[in-house]
Chain A
Amino acid sequence: MNIHEYQAKEIFRKYGVPTPRGGVAFSGPEARKVAEKLGGDLWVVKAQIHAGGRGKAGGVKLAKSLDEVEKIAEEMLGMTLVTHQTGPEGKVVKKVYIEEGADIKAEYYLGMVLDRALEMPVMMASTEGGMEIEEVAAKTPEKIIKVAIDPAIGFQPFHARKLAFGLGLGKDEQKEFIKFASALYNVYMDNDAELIEINPLIKTGEGKFIALDAKMGFDDNALYRHPDIADMRDLDEEEPTEIEAKKYGLSYIKLDGNVGCMVNGAGLAMATMDIIKYEGGEPANFLDVGGGANPDTVAKGFEIILSDPNVKSIFVNIFGGIVRCDRVANGILEATKKVEVNVPVIVRLDGTNAIEAAEILRNANIKNIIPADDLKDGAKKAVAAAKGEL
């Protein structure tokens, strides 16, 4: 789960990670009030969406008067921001964050993520603050300094020193940086974060370090022990169909093609998308109905797939193991009674009792339901059906 910048900064402050002062606003006048309360003569208005690259897209603007704060906030709210992380459809801005201006002497990048190969968290720093870290990694990897932190010993001053020397920080600055980085490690570990990015981390004229931006993602499996963070979830930032699917224990991701897929198991679900592409079609979605594939989940699956008007055929690909195929076949028939399915449904059931299942489907003799012999046959038929060639 991801959260907004302003929420990440709330967490930062609790741990003593310095951030500029700021407040959230949902309208122009509200933004003005926040700015007034902050005082000063320079503010930053920042669109709050779950995507990076906001600055380039016009989602971060400086304001030199309260009138300007109000005007910029009004323009930004309701605007669709398109960044390299939002996809071409962009994201609508529903809230803005107003912050006091900062005295920037230098910009850096600081991030934390799990290194899956080392099986421990790594902290990464770079002098290329404000740049896309992916781009820095591709073009000038030597400019990224990484330290892996063995959780058995935790974050030690030597870890921070290695980063500080890599950034070319002077002696006094190092002390400040070590404090900052140690606090950040605690933010990461205590909250089961999956990712933290501060881009840019700034050094002020006084030699203080401040998180000018903040991005955080969390391990979904650990949210049960962080109810305060779970409450930060913003459903506006998620696909409504994906939320609906999750309620029923289904894992659904919408794609751009026209062949709907309903599969048991995540790996097989990905493989099903792959084979549709391989056979010349385009998958419309990823959908894992889980191990059970019972009539209710299958019915819900049909409903969700068909909510996408692009879908021209559906490939049901179930490998029955402990859940026998004959039961799944009956489940599919039952589901088609609950949900009106108006596109061809190609059904491939393999595994335990596959032969009985094929017979059940054949005997039901429903026009829209077309049994397939195996994975390849099913994919071919589903692609042909989507093209109107079956």
Chain B
Amino acid sequence: MSILVNKDTKVIVQGFTGKEGTFHAQQCMDYGTQIVGGVTPNKGGMTHLGKPVFNTVDEAVKATGATVSMIFVPPAFVADAVMEAADAGIELAVIITEGAPVRDMMYAKHYAVKKGMKTIGPNCPGIITAEECKIGIMPGNIFKKGNVGLISKSGTLTYEASNQVVKEGLGITTAVGIGGDPIIGLSYKELLPMFEADPKTEAIVMIGEIGGDLEIQAAKLIKEKITKPVIAFIAGQTAPKGKRMGHAGAIVSGSKGTAQEKMEALKAAGVYVVESPADIGATVVKALKEKA
């Protein structure tokens, strides 16, 4: 079992024929993901990587039955692409694109919610169900099948966490990179209950960072509804105030959104909060032992 995507998930790629879209679609197909086609306006009718190209998402959905779209279009066009996917009845859009304007994502997200389409990202590595389906840019070989769910705002830190879990002899059910922008799609509060409901997932790792209050919202939800052990690391304990740390959303404004505040809230909710990012794997082992 897993959450959101599995070996049967049919995926189209928006921005299929571009350089990034092409490279990563091929990597996903090599991993086993069912990429059933792609969309590039004015290239409809072509075949790319052995799959059909469509002019619109609507056509692609009707012809292929795809339910998920992986989006690689440039930042200026990403909101349009997301809204087109929502309009065409896509169930989940995975937005890899980095650099989308916040205002655009605000409109796109509101429309997606209205249409009942889930979104992941933007500016994220994507989602992977280990050894079944990879929709994104993460290195698939790092994610071995297992019983740990993973939710993370950061790309390479997701790989780091998964690698530590795997080195401990465990593995991953599904890993979701939710992105570090100010407005993102699915976050902890939606994904934690999904992992709670997934029979295969026995522990959940969440990687957060400074800025915003998604981790605080997560702490509240964990206290009330999550029975599986949660292990958390919050990046940016040493980040200075008022400086944007790479990710658009990773900024401590005034005294709000610090790592300390998030770590305390999570600790109070019974989460295993690790101070050193090197201790994630070992703490998962410890949490599972204590649960047993």
Contact = CB atoms under 8 A, between A and B. Distances in A.
Contacts of B255: 134, 138
B239 A194 contact: no
Interface in A244-296: 251, 253, 255, 263-279, 283, 286, 288, 291
B153 interface: yes
A269 B246 contact: yes
Contact of B275 (A264, A268, A278, A321): A278
Interface stretch (B35-43, B58-66, B156-164): B156-164
B207 A321 contact: no
B221 to A, nearest CB: 13
B243 A321 contact: no
Most buried by B among A263, A276, A319, A320: A319
Contacts of A274: 235-238, 259, 275-277
A273 B239 CA distance: 8
Interface string A24-49: 00000000000000000000000000
19 contacts: A116-B182, A116-B213, A119-B109, A150-B110, A151-B103, A151-B107, A151-B110, A253-B240, A266-B250, A267-B154, A269-B246, A273-B238, A274-B237, A274-B259, A283-B238, A350-B163, A351-B163, A352-B141, A375-B277
B210 interface: yes
Contacts of A283: 238
A368 interface: no
A222 B103 contact: yes
A351 B142 contact: yes
B157 A267 contact: yes
A104 B23 CA distance: 62
B141 A268 contact: no
Interface string B244-255: 011111100011
A351 B167 CA distance: 11
A51 B247 CA distance: 22
B101 A192 contact: yes
A277 B160 CA distance: 19
Nearest to A378: B278
A292 to B, nearest CB: 12
Contact of A266 (B104, B183, B245, B277): B245
Contacts of B197: none
Given A267-B156, A275-B276, A319-B156, A134 B142 contact: no
A351 B237 contact: no
Smallest CB-CB A-B distances: 10 pairs = A267-B154, A266-B246, A265-B156, A321-B139, A222-B101, A267-B157, A376-B278, A270-B235, A271-B277, A268-B156
Interface of B: 27, 75-76, 99-104, 106-107, 109-110, 137-139, 141-142, 152-160, 163, 180, 182-183, 207, 209-214, 217, 233, 235-240, 242-243, 245-250, 254-255, 259, 275-278
Chain A facing B: main interface SS: mixed
A209 B276 CA distance: 52
Interface of A: 85, 114, 116-117, 119-120, 134, 137-138, 150-152, 189, 192, 194, 219-222, 224-225, 251, 253, 255, 263-279, 283, 286, 288, 291, 319-322, 350-352, 374-376, 379
A219 B278 contact: no
B235 A271 contact: yes
Contacts of A119: 106, 109-110, 183
Contacts of B210: 270
Contact of B153 (A225, A267, A276): A267
Contacts of B107: 151
Contact of B142 (A267, A268, A271, A321): A321
Contact of B180 (A224, A267, A321): A267
Nearest to A250: B246
A111 B86 CA distance: 33
A278 B242 CA distance: 22
A340 B211 CA distance: 37
A267 B102 contact: no
